[in-house]
């Protein structure tokens, strides 16, 4: 087997590749996460630094506002403005202003001017007396006036005539106890000292800049940039109070820079802290390098450990491979067990050795069984041939029996058909008798109705006879009464005689009708009796025909059942014949199978001879 196909080569490579991919993925995720965290932390620190410097500059400016408001309440200063010609009061006011200046370390000079802006007093430079603030700082003076003389910073710096450095003028109204405007008080702030104390001497990476709303640099840790114009990228400070400008190209420097800014509350200035991206994110580079080095060392160590461990695993596997080759060559004579391990490989080796021993035992048993199978297969083949002959003879007998049963079934079927036809004829006869009986029954009913009618006629003739008799009596009575009447009743006697004759004639006719009705009544009685006897005869005949029809139906049903039974027997015989034919075929197959089994047993014995066993 080639080295490249060996597990001792492939497993360390695969595991090392997995470890490398895992570590690389984790490193990328870790670097990405840490880079974001470091970047966020750096920018937040960036912003916090700017916020601190902004608060510090704002505090200085606010202190000057508090200081000038305190100076404006000085009685000596107010008296000097109210009494400009009194030298004693003026000297006292100058002394007080000098005291203020000695305390306020960031002031260059402190002074007072009249309402028109002409300087009256100055604690440092008396030459400034008479100079007009309105002329030197017109923009500041106008803003102060529009601001109701509240304390106002100049938006632009100026060069101090006293120190020659950058200065910023702060001024506001001076009022008496009645809050009436009497003059102007000012402080000229020493920006150079503010810059040195708070920005210029700081040991930091990057540059702190304070710029006004016009983009002019007021203060800077790089003093050479004071008075310069900010790049256009900083134009955002005019519209935003605070923020970060990330990765912008800076003229005059290599690489990109980032800056954080925040506006000052007391005046329209912004504090800006700018720094190169390489300085800000150098920790990210160090993190990437450290992660790469640690990951590489970890992969190398893991690969070595895995290679050693795989070698300890593949050694017993190689021994198992060697034994497997012996088994594949049919050699089962070896019985040694030279792998003694407590882990899964030891269990695998013991199972493999047990399999080898059991396989050897099985092959011995198979050899013995193969010999027995060969002998039994030979006997089975001979028995199958004998059974095949007997099965063929039985199949011939069943075929003859099936032919006889078929003839018997045909005869029984013919008898059943004839009995069914006779049953149908009896059913037709029964129907005809039933119809005749119904006709006789109707005739009997009609005769009975005539009989009832003749009875009613007889009753009517009786009534007519009675009426004729009564009429005859009435006619006799009328004749008697007419005779009594004499000549006057003669005509009535004739009528009575005619009525009597008519009554007698009616009585005689009714008697004849009665005789005829009685004669018809007797004949109707006889006809009714004859009809009743005929009905009884037909009813008895109908019952006998129904019994005969039932017997014929039973005969027909029995014949059909016999035919079905014979058909079933015939089918059973046919099925037996079919099964016998199938058995014959199976016997042939069994004979062929036994022959094949004998051949296979011989082949199995030959195959088992391949193995070498103890």
Tokens of 122: 């100055």
Contacts of 191 (CB under 8 A, 6+ apart): 157, 165, 166, 167, 168, 218, 219
Contacts of 175 (CB under 8 A, 6+ apart): 72, 181, 182
pLDDT above 90 for 494: no
pLDDT above 90 for 377: no
Mean pLDDT of the chain: 78
Tokens of 269: 């200035």
pLDDT above 80 for 167: yes
Residue 113 binned pLDDT confidence (cut-offs 50, 70, 90): very high
- How far is CA 427 from its chain centroid? 75
pLDDT above 70 for 481: yes
Query: Distance between CA 81 and CA 115 in Å, rounded?
Result: 10
Question: For residues 109 and 124, is the Cβ–Cβ distance under 8 A?
Answer: yes
330: left (phi over 0), alpha (psi -120 to 50) or beta: left
Contacts of 405 (CB under 8 A, 6+ apart): 566, 569, 570, 573
Tokens of 506: 């009616």
The angle at the Cα of 237, spanning 235 to 239, to the nearest 5 degrees, equals: 95
Query: Which whole number is the average pLDDT over 183-201?
Result: 87
More confident residue, 89 or 33: 89
Q: What is the pLDDT of residue 177?
A: 86
pLDDT digits (tens, 9 = 90+) for 356-367: 777 777 877 777
Please state which of the ranges 117-126, 189-198, 408-417 shows the lowest mean pLDDT.
408-417
Q: What is the distance between the terminal CA atoms of the chain, rounded to a whole angstrom?
A: 31
C-alpha distances in Å from residue 282, one per residue of 31, 35, 42, 505: 13, 10, 11, 167
Tokens of 412: 């029984």
| CATH classification code of 34-283 | 3.30.450.20
Domain(s) labelled CATH 3.30.450.20 in the chain stretch across 34-283
Query: Distance between CA 471 and CA 460 in Å, rounded?
Result: 16
**Strand (E) or helix (H) holding 364:** helix 344-485
Neighbours of 328 (CB within 10 A): 8
Question: For residues 373 and 597, is the Cβ–Cβ distance under 8 A?
Answer: yes
Contacts of 141 (CB under 8 A, 6+ apart): 117, 133, 134, 171
C-alpha distances in Å from residue 410, one per residue of 399, 414, 453, 560, 575: 17, 6, 65, 12, 18
pLDDT above 80 for 243: yes
Q: What is the pLDDT of residue 187?
A: 94
Domain(s) labelled CATH 1.10.287.950 in the chain stretch across 373-608
Highest mean pLDDT among 177-191, 449-463, 581-595: 177-191
For the CA atoms of the chain, what is the radius of gyration?
75
Topology classification of domain 373-608: Helix Hairpins (1.10.287)
Residues in the chain: 614
Query: Distance between CA 569 and CA 582 in Å, rounded?
Result: 19
pLDDT above 60 for 3: no
Query: Distance between CA 271 and CA 273 in Å, rounded?
Result: 7
Closest CA to 174 of 131, 203, 133: 133
Residue 184 binned pLDDT confidence (cut-offs 50, 70, 90): very high
Q: What is the pLDDT of residue 337?
A: 63
Residue 611 binned pLDDT confidence (cut-offs 50, 70, 90): low
Question: What's the DSSP call for residue 487?
Answer: G
Question: What's the DSSP call for residue 197?
Answer: I
Q: What is the pLDDT of residue 332?
A: 65
Neighbours of 547 (CB within 10 A): 12
Q: What is the pLDDT of residue 230?
A: 80
pLDDT digits (tens, 9 = 90+) for 225-239: 887 888 777 777 777
pLDDT digits (tens, 9 = 90+) for 40-67: 777 777 788 888 888 888 898 899 899 9
pLDDT digits (tens, 9 = 90+) for 574-594: 777 777 777 777 777 777 777
pLDDT digits (tens, 9 = 90+) for 315-341: 777 777 777 777 777 776 666 666 666
Question: For residues 598 and 381, is the Cβ–Cβ distance under 8 A?
Answer: yes
Query: Distance between CA 388 and CA 583 in Å, rounded?
Result: 9
pLDDT above 70 for 251: no
Q: What is the pLDDT of residue 50?
A: 82
Query: Distance between CA 433 and CA 347 in Å, rounded?
Result: 103
More confident residue, 416 or 465: 465
Contacts of 205 (CB under 8 A, 6+ apart): 275, 279
Question: What's the DSSP call for residue 119?
Answer: E
Query: Which whole number is the average pLDDT over 480-506?
Result: 76
Q: What is the pLDDT of residue 283?
A: 63
pLDDT above 80 for 510: no
Q: Which residue has the tokens 């090392």?
A: 16
Highest mean pLDDT among 85-94, 297-306, 505-514: 85-94
pLDDT above 90 for 197: no
Contacts of 289-295 with CB under 8 Å at 24 or more apart are 291/27, 291/30, 291/31, 292/27, 295/23, 295/24, 295/27
Q: What is the pLDDT of residue 282?
A: 67
């Amino acid at each position: 087997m080639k080295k490249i196909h060996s597990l001792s080569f492939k497993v360390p490579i695969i595991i090392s590749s997995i470890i490398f991919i895992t570590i690389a993925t984790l490193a990328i995720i870790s670097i990405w996460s840490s880079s974001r965290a470091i970047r966020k932390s750096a920018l937040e620190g960036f912003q916090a630094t700017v916020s601190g410097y902004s608060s510090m500059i704002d505090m200085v400016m606010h202190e000057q506002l508090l200081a000038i408001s305190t100076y404006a309440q000085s009685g000596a200063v107010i008296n000097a403005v109210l009494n400009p010609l009194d030298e004693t009061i003026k000297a006292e006011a100058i002394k007080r202003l000098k005291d203020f200046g000695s305390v306020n370390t960031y002031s260059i000079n402190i002074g007072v001017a009249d309402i028109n802006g002409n300087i009256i007093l100055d604690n440092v430079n008396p030459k400034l007396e008479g100079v007009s603030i309105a002329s030197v700082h017109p923009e500041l003076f106008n803003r102060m006036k529009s601001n109701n003389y509240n304390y106002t910073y100049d938006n632009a710096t100026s060069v101090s005539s006293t120190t020659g450095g950058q200065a910023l003028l702060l001024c506001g109204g001076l009022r008496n106890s009645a809050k009436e405007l009497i003059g102007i008080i000012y402080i000229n702030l020493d920006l150079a000292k503010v810059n040195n104390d708070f920005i210029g001497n700081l040991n930091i990476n990057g540059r702190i800049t304070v710029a006004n709303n016009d983009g002019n640099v007021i203060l800077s840790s790089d003093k050479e940039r004071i008075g310069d114009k900010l790049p256009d990228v900083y134009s955002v400070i005019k519209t935003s109070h605070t923020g970060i400008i990330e990765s912008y190209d800076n003229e005059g420097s290599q690489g990109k820079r980032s800056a954080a800014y925040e506006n000052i509350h007391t005046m329209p200035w912004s504090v800006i802290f700018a720094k190169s991206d390489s300085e800000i994110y150098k920790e990210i580079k160090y993190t990437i390098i450290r992660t790469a080095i640690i990951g590489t060392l970890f992969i190398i160590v893991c690969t070595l450990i895995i290679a050693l461990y795989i070698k300890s695993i593949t050694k017993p596997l190689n021994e198992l491979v060697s034994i497997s080759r012996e088994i594949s060559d049919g050699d089962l004579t070896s019985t040694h067990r030279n792998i003694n391990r407590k882990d899964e490989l030891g269990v695998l080796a013991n199972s493999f050795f047990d399999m080898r021993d059991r396989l050897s035992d099985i092959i011995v048993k198979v050899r013995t069984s193969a010999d027995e199978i060969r002998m039994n297969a030979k006997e089975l083949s001979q028995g199958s041939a004998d059974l095949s002959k007997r099965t063929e003879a039985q199949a011939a007998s069943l075929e003859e029996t099936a032919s006889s049963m078929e003839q018997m079934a045909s005869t029984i079927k013919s008898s059943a058909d004839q009995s069914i036809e006779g049953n149908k004829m009896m059913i037709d006869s029964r129907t005809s008798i039933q119809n005749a009986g119904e006709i006789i029954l109707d005739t009997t009913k009609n005769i009975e109705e005539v009989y009832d009618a003749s009875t009613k006629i007889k009753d009517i003739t009786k009534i007519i006879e009675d009426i004729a008799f009564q009429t005859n009596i009435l006619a006799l009575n009328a004749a008697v009464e007419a005779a009594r009447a004499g000549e006057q009743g003669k005509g009535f006697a004739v009528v009575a005689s005619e009525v009597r004759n008519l009554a007698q004639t009616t009585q005689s006719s009714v008697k004849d009708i009665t005789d005829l009705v009685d004669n018809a009544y007797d004949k109707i009685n006889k006809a009714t009796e004859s009809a009743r006897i005929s009905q009884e005869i037909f009813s008895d005949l109908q019952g006998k025909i129904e019994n005969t029809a039932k017997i014929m139906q039973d005969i027909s049903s029995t014949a059909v059942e016999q035919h079905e039974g014979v058909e079933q027997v015939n089918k059973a015989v046919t099925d037996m014949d079919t099964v016998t034919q199938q058995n014959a075929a199976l016997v042939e197959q069994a004979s062929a199978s036994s022959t094949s089994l004998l051949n296979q047993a011989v082949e199995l014995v030959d195959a088992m001879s391949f193995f070498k066993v103890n």
